Structure 1
Amino acid sequence: MKIIVIGAGVVGLATAWRLSLAGHEVTVVDSAASAGAGTSFANGAQLSYSYVAPLADPSVWGQLPKLLTDPDSPVQFRPGADLFQYRWLLQFLAACNQRQAHATIDRLGMIADLSKHILHDSEELRTADFCWTRTGKLVVYSSEKSFASARQHAEYQAQGGVDKRAVGREECLAIEPALASIGHRIVGGLFSPGDEAGDALMLCREFERLLSQAERPATFLYDTTVTRLVREKGVLRGLDTSRGHLEADLYVLAAGVQARALGRTAGLDLPIYPIKGYSLSVPVAAPAAAPTVSITDAMRKVVLARLGETLRIAGAADLVGENLSIDTRRVGKLLADARSDFPDAADWSNPVLWSGLRPATPTGQPMIGESGVERLLLNVGHGALGFTLALGSAELLAREI
């Protein structure tokens, strides 16, 4: 079949690669000038197969006053005039219960495990150049209460075979000696030896290379804005774009936060809200002082990943609409915390700053498969886990096709 994939982020390109392997003729369309220019560009870099707990968790209720009022909270909410923002928030709060959280963890865990197996089983991807490391992930906690709650999640996941174990302070420091600088405030951690890291932007470019060299090379239409999904009598007939009208046998909407606006042109009401995050990338100055294991600081709500000679630090979850401006106060705190915690690890004098929009559903579960419009499939709503879930989501979509 001739298939058009809308979106050239890591999810869209993973989908295009998988469909190309199945023998389809693939065209990738994106409004950006190159692959991975959106949310995939400088994300947290962690392949968190074992850490798929959604934002919608029962613990949100107890944290809500602080999340809404503390200017240093990792979550910021700025009320706007968009009624959808409030509707999404109400749906999010409704999902903050144990039953829904467990259902989401089960589904995301399945997709993450599928992603991991596909990466490990593909010689093309194993030999791709994207700073892939397999050093595990360690989440460190600074309060006994939060550590106890995290252990409960880990015990639930362990029932399904997830390799994640609770470790004490000394074992945390043995697993990652670079944590010695914050060892005084660590009470324990959760270690997942099977988790990994990599550069999502570089993987996007590797997908592009593999698609260009395929037996049926893919077509890439960059700088091409899709303005309308042309729906007639319940069937998607084509795409109106800045380069004219495009038609195919099948269409896949994998456009991240842009999917909601595009879906509305075909009568769809996709519950996707942009959750803004920030990252900074700095050159490693002292390899022994920089973490090699992927680290998540549960207190600061910050992730760190080593990408070759670069240290990537990412965090924050701001509900401020589709606003990509760099909030200097937010990024300044991210930089100050990282510099305070790992003073000798990197050259902090000239960090590369970035902001991105995570396409989030209220429950945290992505929408993969039928859209309700004939010939239009969805692969959207992966939130902060797009990099982790991309290959598994592509596989599920390909099976459905």
Structure 2
Amino acid sequence: MQVCILGAGIVGLAAAYELTLAGHQVTVVDKASQAGSGTSMGNGAQLSYSYVQPLADPGIWKQLPKLLFSSDSPLKFRLQADPQQWKWGLAFLGACNADRSAASTRTLLQLAAVSRQRFEAMQTQVGGDWDYSSTGKLVLYPSDAAVQSARQQLDVQSQLGSAPQRIVSPDEAVALEPALAAYRSQFAGAVHTPSECAADCYQVCRQLEDWLRQKGVKFIMDTPIQRLRREGGKIVALETAQGDIEAEHFIVALGVDSVALCKPLGVDLPVYPLKGYSITLDVAAAGHKAPTVSITDSARKVVFARIGQRLRVAGMVELVGHDLRIPQDKIRSLCASTEAVFPGCSDYVNVQPWAGLRPATPTAVPIAMSAGASNLWINTGHGALGFTLAFGTAAQLAYDIGQTA
């Protein structure tokens, strides 16, 4: 079958990979000039297959005053005259309960398990070099109460078949990652997941694109997407600035831009952008001062992932609409967090700032389904787990499309 994929980020490319393996003819369309140059480019680099706690958590209610009114909160709501933001925010708060969080965790873990299997199969197939590591992850918690909450999340995940994880003391965390020594007094405990991984998502996209081209996938880049034309309950063409593109099936994997494209078709996607920032630091000369284990500081809402001789530092969650500006205070904040946690690991001469809009659903569970037409498929809503879950939703959609033959 002929399948047209809208979007050349990691989510769209993963779908192209799975569909190509299944024997379909695939075309990928994107307004960007290079694959992976959008939200996939500077993400947190962590492949978090086993610790997938949704942002919608019962603990959010206690944090609401800070989230709404504090200028230095790492998780910030900026209320706007935007009905989509209010609708999403209310649905998000409605999901902040124990039952919904547990259900979302179950779904995410199942999807992540499939995604891990398919990503590792892709690595073997493509043989790319994208600074992949499997050194595990530590999630740091600032207080005994936070550690206890994490213990409850681990209990939920263990009952759902998650990979082995355990709570460790600050001393045990430092033994696992010596670069945390100077920060030892700033956290009360951590969750250690030995099986977690990291990689450069942008390099995965670039090298996967090369492999897909060799396999006959057609890429139409630098091409603004205008609309999907529907006739008689089916999408008959994708209208672009370069002309119409016809196919038997269409997959929308445009991240937050999926919402506007699908709305004229009567598809109201519960997706809103969660803005995040990152910096990438050269740590080649840092020695033991830079971590090799992936680190998430839950208090600062910042993640640290080693990718080769670089350290990717990503963080913050802002509901501020479709704003991709990079205020200098955000970059200074990430630099300050890095220096606080790993003093002396970089000279911060070249920090490579970046901002991206993570397409999130209120529950954190992505959308991978048919909607709006019998041959239209939605693949978005992965939030902060886009890199982690991309190959899981790709495998699901490839199977579903195959069943229509």
TM-score greater than 0.5 by the shorter chain: yes
Give the superposition deviation at 1:130: 1.1
Q: Aligned in 2, Cα 1:326/1:125: closer, same or farther, shift over 3 Å?
A: farther
- Aligned equivalents of 2:33, 2:265: Cα separation in 1: 25
- Aligned equivalents of 1:126, 1:192: Cα separation in 2: 27
Give the superposition deviation at 1:123: 5.2
- Aligned equivalents of 1:352, 1:246: Cα separation in 2: 36
- Whether the 8 Å CA contact 1:120–1:126 is kept in 2: the answer is no
Q: Which residue in the other structure is 1:168 paired with?
A: 169
- Whether the 8 Å CA contact 2:302–2:316 is kept in 1: the answer is yes
Give the superposition deviation at 1:53: 1.1
Q: Aligned in 2, Cα 1:312/1:212: closer, same or farther, shift over 3 Å?
A: same
Q: Which residue in the other structure is 1:359 paired with?
A: 359
Q: Which residue in the other structure is 2:80 paired with?
A: 80
- Aligned equivalents of 2:192, 2:120: Cα separation in 1: 20
What do you get for the CA RMSD once the two structures are aligned? 1.2
Q: Which residue in the other structure is 1:196 paired with?
A: 197
1:346 aligned counterpart, secondary structure: coil
Q: Which residue in the other structure is 2:373 paired with?
A: 373
* Farther off after superposition, 317-326 or 337-346: 337-346
- Mapping 1:146-165, distance limit 5 Å: 146-162=146-162, 163-165=164-166
Q: Which residue in the other structure is 2:237 paired with?
A: 238
Task: Report Cα offsets for 1:54-93 as digits up to 9, x if no partner.
Answer: 1111111111111111111111222222111111111111
- Tell me, yes or no, if structure 1 residue 207 matches structure 2 residue 215: no
- Whether the 8 Å CA contact 1:311–1:346 is kept in 2: the answer is no
- Whether the 8 Å CA contact 2:41–2:201 is kept in 1: the answer is yes
Give the superposition deviation at 1:44: 0.3
Q: Which runs of 5+ in 2 are unaligned?
A: none
- Aligned equivalents of 1:125, 1:251: Cα separation in 2: 25
- Tell me, yes or no, if structure 1 residue 325 matches structure 2 residue 351: no
* Farther off after superposition, 71-80 or 25-34: 71-80
2:353 aligned counterpart, secondary structure: strand
Q: Which residue in the other structure is 2:274 paired with?
A: 275
Q: Which residue in the other structure is 2:255 paired with?
A: 256
- Matched positions, count: 399
Q: Aligned in 2, Cα 1:283/1:123: closer, same or farther, shift over 3 Å?
A: closer
- Aligned equivalents of 2:307, 2:88: Cα separation in 1: 35
TM-score with structure 2 length normalisation? 0.96
Q: Aligned in 2, Cα 1:71/1:123: closer, same or farther, shift over 3 Å?
A: closer
- Aligned equivalents of 1:202, 1:308: Cα separation in 2: 12
- Whether the 8 Å CA contact 1:4–1:27 is kept in 2: the answer is yes
- Whether the 8 Å CA contact 2:228–2:261 is kept in 1: the answer is yes
- Tell me, yes or no, if structure 1 residue 311 matches structure 2 residue 280: no
Q: Aligned in 2, Cα 1:373/1:6: closer, same or farther, shift over 3 Å?
A: same
1:49 aligned counterpart, secondary structure: coil
Give the superposition deviation at 1:335: 1.2
- Whether the 8 Å CA contact 1:154–1:164 is kept in 2: the answer is yes
Task: Report Cα offsets for 1:21-52 as digits up to 9, x if no partner.
Answer: 11111000001111001100010000000121
Q: Aligned in 2, Cα 1:73/1:125: closer, same or farther, shift over 3 Å?
A: farther
Task: Report Cα offsets for 1:320-351 as digits up to 9, x if no partner.
Answer: 10000002222211111212321221221221
- Aligned equivalents of 1:122, 1:374: Cα separation in 2: 29
1:209 aligned counterpart, secondary structure: helix
Give the superposition deviation at 1:127: 2.7
Q: Aligned in 2, Cα 1:302/1:123: closer, same or farther, shift over 3 Å?
A: closer
1:352 aligned counterpart, secondary structure: coil
Q: Which residue in the other structure is 1:184 paired with?
A: 185
Q: Aligned in 2, Cα 1:372/1:192: closer, same or farther, shift over 3 Å?
A: same
- Aligned-partner residue type, residue 257 of structure 2: Q
2:354 aligned counterpart, secondary structure: strand
Percent identity of the aligned residues? 47
Q: Which residue in the other structure is 1:295 paired with?
A: 295
- Whether the 8 Å CA contact 1:276–1:355 is kept in 2: the answer is yes
Give the superposition deviation at 1:208: 0.4
Give the superposition deviation at 1:377: 0.7
1:315 aligned counterpart, secondary structure: strand
- Aligned equivalents of 2:313, 2:299: Cα separation in 1: 14
- Mapping 1:130-141, distance limit 5 Å: 130-141=130-141
- Aligned equivalents of 2:397, 2:224: Cα separation in 1: 24
- Whether the 8 Å CA contact 2:75–2:301 is kept in 1: the answer is no
Moved over 6 A (4+): none
Give the superposition deviation at 1:118: 1.8
- Whether the 8 Å CA contact 1:119–1:126 is kept in 2: the answer is no
- Mapping 1:333-352, distance limit 5 Å: 333-352=333-352
Q: Which runs of 5+ in 1 are unaligned?
A: none
